[in-house]
Amino acid sequence: MTAVLEIKDLHANVGDAEILKGVTLTIRQGEVHALMGPNGSGKSTMAYAIAGHPHYTITSGDILFNGESILDKEPDERAKLGVFLAFQYPVAIPGVSFANFLRASVSNVRGYKDRARIEAEKSTVKKEIGSELMPMREFRKELVTKMDRFNVDRAFAQRYLNDGFSGGEKKRGEVLQMAMLEPKIAILDESDSGLDIDALRVVADGINKLVADGMGALLITHYQRILNYVKPDKVSIFYKGRVYMTGGSEVAHMLEERGYQWVEDELAKVPA
């Protein structure tokens, strides 16, 4: 079944401030939906709200995954369903190797940890350390294969997660995480942020491969440039907490030519 993520009339607050003011949007597996808007329009708030970040309070509306609400699910439960959030600013975790982080993440999402917990409850025999994780030989084989396919240096595996990484390395790492976790729908929060042209091409190539494999993507960005490499099926303009317009790639080209001021000018004409 093709996975579908639906955001329906979503309102969300940060503290007492309403940031999302009735967002309605649909992202389908195997498609790229670009969401373009200026700084401060609420794009990242929406990304975090979809992922289940506790800092953002949903006041009304709903988020549906394959027709079922996920508002009451924790972030890890949403991840197990197949929802992934690629951060605009990936966090560094000194002391935790990239490989160990990925092995723990994959083991959780694919159910290894849940199965180990159930078996432990049924047995009186103490399990070995690491028995709740994906078998190391199997994990290493898959990791190396995907590192090569997605142009990620094998040395990443032993480096601490995002610690001392360049902007391009962090975003390549996010692509590798998606490749390993195999989400059905990924929310990509400004994956082009801070990238030079070479890094942008590598990251875009990785996104294209994942979409070709069946992943759906909500690609959040300010600019047209990543859309020169990742061709969107739909483009929506996001402004002041709402989706203002949805169309094809011509919408992105229109923004590139006209900027965002015309959107505010158009909204000013609408009676309050």
Query: So what's the pLDDT on residue 133?
Result: 92
Query: So what's the pLDDT on residue 270?
Result: 56
Query: So what's the pLDDT on residue 258?
Result: 86
Query: So what's the pLDDT on residue 124?
Result: 62
Query: So what's the pLDDT on residue 130?
Result: 60
Distance CA 249, CA 183 (A): 25
Judge if pTM exceeds 0.85.
yes
Query: So what's the pLDDT on residue 120?
Result: 62
CATH: 3.40.30.10, 3.40.50.300, 3.20.20.80, 3.40.50.720. Which one for 4-90+183-268? 3.40.50.300
Q: Which two tokens stand for residue 193?
A: 């942020």
Query: So what's the pLDDT on residue 126?
Result: 60
Query: So what's the pLDDT on residue 129?
Result: 56
* Per-domain boundaries in the chain: 4-90+183-268, 92-164
Which pLDDT tens digits describe the chain residue by residue (272 residues)? Answer: 899 999 999 999 999 999 999 999 999 999 999 999 988 899 999 999 999 999 999 999 999 999 999 999 999 999 999 999 999 888 999 999 999 999 999 999 998 887 767 766 666 656 655 668 999 999 999 999 999 999 999 999 999 999 999 999 999 999 999 999 999 999 999 998 888 999 999 999 999 999 999 999 999 998 888 999 999 999 999 999 999 999 999 998 888 888 888 887 777 665 54
Query: So what's the pLDDT on residue 89?
Result: 87
Distance CA 140, CA 156 (A): 13
Closest by Cα among 111, 104, 57, 60 to 81: 111
